[in-house]
Amino acid sequence: MIKRYITGLAAFATACLLSSFGTVKADTSGGDQPKIVNIVNFIRLLEPRDSAITEDVLYQTVVRQVEIMKKYKLGGTFLLQYDALMDPRYQKLLKSLPRSSFEIGAWWEIPQPLVEKAGLKWRGRYPWDWRANIGFSTGYTPKEREKLADVYMRDFKKIFGYYPKSVASWFIDAHTLNYLYQKYHIVASANCKDQYGTDGYTLWGGYWNQAYYPSKINSYMPAQNAVNQIPVPIFRMLGSDPVRQYDNGLGTTRQGVVTLEPVYKFGGGDSTWVNWYFKEFVDGESTGFAYTQAGQENSFTWGAMAKGFEIQMPLIAKLRDEHKIKVETLAASGKWFKEHYKVTPATSVTINNDIEGSDRKTVWFDSRFYRINLIWENGTLRLRDIHLFDEKLPSVYEQEKATSNECSFFTLPVVDGYLWSTAQQMAGLRLKAIIDGKETLMEGGDPVVTSPVPGKLHISWPLKTISGTLVIDMDERQVSMKIKSEKHIDWFMDMSVADKTKLPFTKIGHRQIKCKFEGMDYGVEAEKGSFIKSEGNEVFSIRPEKSVVILNLAYTWTGKN
């Protein structure tokens, strides 16, 4: 990925500070809420963007990754692009790894040798071309995608003696994924984190972390029903910063990157950030299970990733040895997911304490019906994001091939704190009250986040502006909010956006908000409370009913799912 690549070449890390990792509750790795880490390194044969990055440089990068993983007795997954699959050096190196702890799978970018062996014409500028209509399955017709899959799988089996169990990519279409499941019985896939426009690839509004079962007609959209899902979990890659990644670069020409990838100076290559990330990963409430992906593609080269890799691997080994995390292959995680979940579960990502110098806290909650993000900044609360999921929304790439060098995958927005914001005007729903006749932004202390029963999240936020507590409860279908106080509080949630924002709302009614996006009608229903249409940047407010708001986020035009 071009911009990630350019940024990564300059990335270096500070020394590892293992001693800074705080005490956490013991064994969360194998219980009801396991903390799962996949170390996934994917391999390309060549790098046409920089003549200094030779095939040997790329190969030696993988050699060093293997060495350090073996040093700390860490297993993991190596995913091969087709051109690397056919290289005898990679074959020999990866065949030498014990299958008990290492997995060899497929990285689903499409290079020239694979295209030509499938009897198709290569349209790329280089033998590997990263454009969406060239280097990914979206650039080919459904029948061509099947030919590409058959060639890869046949040659993989000739080399390794079996078919791969994991096939991952920055993005992979549903037709290919379902074909690989039905014919070759893969058990796991993975795609890129949520991002907007990075390298021309947009994946926005999806199941934010952990994993989901995709719709049969849209690989980015979680399915609501087992009959309409592909039974292969897609894990979200790269370990996004839950606080900063979402609106990083707001007000500039592109979104920035803050992830666990070891090449990034602020992120996976910085010991302070890495230790903070894993502490919150272990401590934070995850509802069902926690998940993150470590590792790096070889295109960044060992020189750029070495310090970050050497920060992360001993820390991951330490947490494993303390039984605080579970390190396993992508295929093992896919198998575990299928054994535990028949449909996409509700999960959460919680940051109780931000990195030093910041007091922000955040909660991401995902289910098969929606995702929501809450962020606390300077003692105030903003609902930063709500996107709904509908398995009936087809991907534009499902039947037709991509014609642009960029691609876009979306879900259904209700609140979008990135696309509806500017650096000066941050969109979202804010908690307010009328106090002494004045509209007042509510302030509070530290929220307490728990999961009292599987699939449900409970948040208790002590308020400072008044004597009371905001209580938020989430399950897979709805969100409820109420303020507990000894006296009546005239409170509400106020939705505001930046100037000239294009919004999906077609009607704001007393009990329903109706929307249209990507040709699909959808909406939100207030089972308790009501919507009040506003003017200007303040689009609507949500008013409680007897101090309670209940939003049905599994609501569609045709009724409740």
Please give the DSSP secondary-structure letter assigned to residue 216: T
CA distances from 377 to 274, 391, 451 (A): 22, 34, 23
User: At 220, phi and psi to the nearest 5?
Assistant: -90, -15
Task: Note the CATH number of domain 2-351.
Answer: 3.20.20.510
Q: Which two tokens stand for residue 495?
A: 């939705």
Question: How far is 422 from 390, CA to CA, in rounded Å?
Answer: 28
Q: What are phi and psi of 243, to 5 degrees?
A: -90, -50
The CA radius of gyration of the chain, in Å to the nearest whole number, is 23
Closest CA to 557 of 528, 514, 517, 519: 514
Residue 30: its pLDDT value, please?
47
Max CA-CA distance within the chain? 77
What residues contact residue 374 under an 8 Å CB cut-off, 6+ apart? Answer: 362, 363, 381, 382, 383, 384, 459, 472
The dihedral built from the CA positions of residue 140, 144, 149 and 152, taken in this order, carries a sign that is: negative
Separation between Cα atoms, residue 124 and residue 114, nearest integer Å: 12
Output the pLDDT for position 404: 79
Per-residue pLDDT, 12 = 32
Mean pLDDT in order along the chain per 10 residues (561 residues): 43 35 39 89 95 95 97 97 98 96 97 97 94 92 97 98 97 96 98 88 94 97 97 97 93 86 95 97 95 97 96 98 97 97 97 94 98 96 97 89 84 96 94 93 96 94 94 97 92 94 94 94 95 88 95 70 41
CA 57 distance to own-chain centroid? 30
Placement of tokens 């575990």 in the chain: 336
* Per-residue model confidence (pLDDT) at position 560: 44
Residue ranges, CATH 3.20.20.510, the chain = 2-351
Structure tokens at 214: 């995709």
Cα-based distances in Å from 304 to 7, 42, 315, 533: 10, 16, 19, 52
Determine contact, residues 3/198, Cβ cutoff 8 Å: yes
Amino acid at 80: L
